[in-house]
A and B are shown apart, each in its own frame.
Chain A
Amino acid sequence: MLKALLQRFGQTAFVLFGISVLVFLVFFATPGADPTSRIAGKNASPETIAKVRQEYGFDHPLPVQYATMMKKLFITQDLTSYANRGEKVVPELIKAAPVTLSLATGGAVIWVVVSILMGTVAAAFRGTWIDRTLMAIGLVGISIPVFWLGQVANLITQARYHDTWLFSWVPALGYVPFAESPIGWFKALIIPWCTLAVLFIGVYARVLRSDLVTVSGEDFMRTARAKGLTPTRVLLVHGLRTSMITFVSLFGMDFAQLIGGGALLTEVVFGLQGVGRLTYQALSALDLPLIMASVMYSAVFVVLANALVDVIYIFLDPRVRDGR
């Protein structure tokens, strides 16, 4: 157990190191990215430029600059932005995390519940019009880009029909902290949740249906049916549990990626100040400290999610538990 944990920790450290070096080098290889004059301000005197260069350590060799940045990011946590002088990036990221967590969790609840329902019903009615209709709806969901859907949702709820009884409850775009107003939090997020979930519902419902169809021919399913269990029980208890393996693997990766800032487009469209929007802002401003912090944050979640998925496998599939 300890060995496995250490191994996982080693992998995580290696991945983080690799990513950080890559991001750092790409930044410095970008022409015109030298942040000194941007930090110092327009028309700053050569003396001020020199001071800023020294203060930010830009006069040191790249490996030293890299080590200093990592120290400021992980140890002293006082890494400051290159675009907005004085803005500390780690606290920014910590403040943005609950927004992303709220968005991803709510969206995940919707897509998990709806896709399980859709996938299971489609598999139960395999080959019928119900199956075909549900899968077609799923495909439409997959095909719609999230930023387009978000803009259309905004157009309907914020602009065109905002003054009607149907959407007059919709608050202004942006995030309302749960602690400030649970109802406000819910109202502000319900449309982003649904928008975010649409793509995933389509993907997950199709994956689940396909797995359910595949396992229906397996020996253990035949045995269950031979024991005289009802088709519903066979499908839900025996079929669904086994079919959830792919579903859970996918979920682990997708959820981690969303928590890590993958819901960037949804956050930007709905004005949610989460990690995704912070990443977007960092990229638009070519702000290395913020890019570095958000990429590191995202990478940690992806690696952790992989580990978590491995654990869940053990519960879902006895073969993994027995080492078979």
Chain B
Amino acid sequence: MRDGTGVFPSSSPLKHPRPTSGIRTTRKLTFSALACCLALVATPLHAATVAPGAPDSPETGGILRITAENSGGTLDPQISYVHITYQMEAIVYDGLTTFAKTPSKLSSHAIPDLAEALPEPQDGGRTYVFHLRHGIRFSNGKEVTPDDVVASMQRIFKVNSPTAGPYYSHIVGGEACLKDAEHCTLAGGVEADDKAWTVTFHLTHPDAEFFDRLAFQHASILPADTPTHDTGNEAPLGTGPYKIVSYEPNSGLKMERNPYFRQWDAVAQPAGYPDEIHYSFGLDPEAAVTAIENNQYDWMLESVPLDRQAEVGARFSDRVKLIDQLVIFYAALNVNQPPFNDVRVRQALNYALNRKAVVIYNGGPAVSSAACQMLPTGAPGYEPGCAYTKGASPEHLAPEWKEHDLALAKKLVEESGTKGQKVVIVTPGSGGSGAIANEIRATLVDLGYVASVRPITPVIEFSYIQNSDNKMQIGLTGWSADYPSASSFLRTLFSCATFIPHSSNSINASQFCDPKLDALMDKAAEVSLTDQKAGDALWAEASRALMAQAPAVPLDQTRRVALTSSRVHGTFDTPIYEAVFSQVKLRRAGDPP
């Protein structure tokens, strides 16, 4: 899970001189003539000075200034796994496939990028032959070859990429590479053909999400001679419209145009408008909001903090963007710990929790919506339906969450005979999580339990709840997928494979394992290979089956609240990357708002 200053560049060719009214007529004439000459010169000059690979548009140019609280650590695209690097590297690196970098649906799947097209599956979905595009160059001018693709796939294992196991180990030879990364060859798994200019992948089993996995940044195509260790603060060469020219994790990062970039697909990797992109690290989100209000920066990485949302909404409504995202906040209920080892108790808490309060704690209905299932709205396979609201049940779903049902919840608790037991809620000790944890505590008290809240520093809270030896009862957390798929929510968080007893890395915090549900999810994945619609229907069925057993309490789904400076315009927000910075257009002084 992934989880500058206010001046325009002096080289801007679009600054037209304006005659001053107080100047004498003769001077005015001279000045006007000069201005006309300059204007005439300026037009061809603009065309002539457009950087290689940049769109020939009056909106091309300028420095985009972004602020973020912290950097994202390593720049190695095959290792970095945080939102900030995912976003910045989207315009530096390409994979064989990618996600659209222009507006698209939340559920959009991968599209071809360095590959000419998405290949037809062969051998029952076990073989894919990708035809590489010709003439695409890294930022040092070297052409991308099939060998670079093979080396990049091997490098995923050699550098111990976080997703080497879950995403790429089903490539033939992948399991061997996991065990002995140093000597990874992926022999028989990835084959280059320089004559046909193709790369062939062989999988051990069919995978409906293979193109999506190749679109994830860990499958970025890098030069074959890229060191096979974490490059840390040095960014490997990429093929996108920008290259990273300097990076200091404690202060900032600068990107400039990749001189060898030529747009090959306007959706997969569009040419970039700003000449440069500067990141500054160090401002907390509160200070960042003020800085953007003052036009000292153009964009901030973090969402506008809750306490500033009313202010920016009232004063800068034209500069606020609300971006839908595939994220779900939930309370994991440990099905192996009492009282939640009783399905009635899990259902009772789902009925009893007032999600209206949760929505308010997370910023109100404009930015948060009550969740009824573990698939967020808009995800592939999502079908509306609420099992735990007044008048509904897992067998008879309501279209949406309306009201909590305390009476039914109390009845279920009575039946379970668990009243009076102690329950500890583990929560990240920051932001709105504490308030939501207290809401759950109050609900549990209403149901007859002795409940308390244990806040843990956010940085280790997730590690704590995914340690299967910690005997956690309820843990608050959130999950956003690396790419849009039902599987990355349902399978990742609730399959038997992701519950690892006695492990500090058991992502299935609910410790939920149901072979029947696993079989249904396997079937959904298999059907999705050939029939996406039928596959999605099966994922929706799996989501309902999961909620019938209630191993978690879905809380809400939030939207990202973004604030821009007054000089930013254009459409650059997408559900996967939130913002594609190459598509930001910058107004210059004098441009109409």
Chain A residues within 8 Å of B, Cβ to Cβ: 31-34, 36-38, 40-49, 51-52, 55, 80-81, 83-88, 91-92, 95-96, 154, 158-159, 162-163, 171-175, 268, 271-273, 277-278, 281, 284-286
With contacts A37-B466, A44-B505, A86-B232 known, is A92 near B162, CB below 8 A? no
- B166 x A45 contact (CB < 8 A): yes
Chain B, Cβ-Cβ closest to A168: B294
Q: B72: which of A84, A95, A277 is its contact (CB, 8 Å)?
A: A84
Does B73 make an interface contact (CB < 8 A)? yes
- A158 x B505 contact (CB < 8 A): no
Secondary structure type dominating chain B contacts: loop
Q: Smallest CB–CB gap between B558 and chain A, Å?
A: 19
- B81 x A42 contact (CB < 8 A): yes
Total residue contacts A-B, CB cutoff 8 A: 158
Chain B, Cβ-Cβ closest to A284: B459
- B250 x A273 contact (CB < 8 A): yes
- A51 x B290 contact (CB < 8 A): no
- B505 x A40 contact (CB < 8 A): yes
Q: A87: which of B232, B282, B284, B505 is its contact (CB, 8 Å)?
A: B232
Does B231 make an interface contact (CB < 8 A)? yes
Q: Smallest CB–CB gap between A72 and chain B, Å?
A: 14
- A43 x B498 contact (CB < 8 A): yes
CA distance A268 to B248 in the complex (A): 18
Does B1 make an interface contact (CB < 8 A)? yes
Residues of B with C-beta under 8 A to A42: 1, 3, 81, 162, 462, 507
CA distance A285 to B505 in the complex (A): 18
Residues of B with C-beta under 8 A to A33: 460
Residues of B with C-beta under 8 A to A268: 284
Q: Smallest CB–CB gap between A51 and chain B, Å?
A: 5
Nearest 7 A-B pairs (CB), nearest first?
A45-B165, A84-B73, A41-B162, A86-B74, A86-B232, A172-B296, A37-B505
Chain B, Cβ-Cβ closest to A275: B250
Does B464 make an interface contact (CB < 8 A)? yes
Q: A48: which of B5, B178, B457, B498 is its contact (CB, 8 Å)?
A: B178
Does B251 make an interface contact (CB < 8 A)? yes
CA distance A186 to B160 in the complex (A): 45
Residues of A with C-beta under 8 A to B162: 40-44, 48
Q: A43: which of B5, B80, B166, B281 is its contact (CB, 8 Å)?
A: B166
0 or 1 for each of B287-302: is its CB under 8 Å from A? (1 = yes)? 1001101101100000
Residues of B with C-beta under 8 A to A49: 505
Chain A, Cβ-Cβ closest to B82: A84
Chain A, Cβ-Cβ closest to B76: A86
How many residues of chain B have a CB within 8 Å of chain A?
Answer: 61
Does B107 make an interface contact (CB < 8 A)? no
CA distance A92 to B464 in the complex (A): 29
Q: Smallest CB–CB gap between A81 and chain B, Å?
A: 7
CA distance A47 to B174 in the complex (A): 12
CA distance A172 to B507 in the complex (A): 41
Q: A271: which of B164, B284, B470, B503 is its contact (CB, 8 Å)?
A: B284
- A159 x B165 contact (CB < 8 A): no
- B505 x A273 contact (CB < 8 A): no
0 or 1 for each of B360-386: is its CB under 8 Å from A? (1 = yes)? 000000000000000000000000000
Does B226 make an interface contact (CB < 8 A)? no
Select the residue from B79, B80, B162, B169 with max chain A CB neighbours within 10 A.
B162
Chain A, Cβ-Cβ closest to B479: A42
Does B492 make an interface contact (CB < 8 A)? yes
- B160 x A52 contact (CB < 8 A): yes
- A86 x B231 contact (CB < 8 A): yes
Residues of A with C-beta under 8 A to B332: none
A–B Cβ pairs within 8 angstroms, 7 of them = A37-B463, A41-B79, A42-B462, A44-B163, A83-B73, A95-B250, A284-B457
Chain A, Cβ-Cβ closest to B506: A37
Does B249 make an interface contact (CB < 8 A)? yes
Does B30 make an interface contact (CB < 8 A)? no
- B283 x A32 contact (CB < 8 A): no
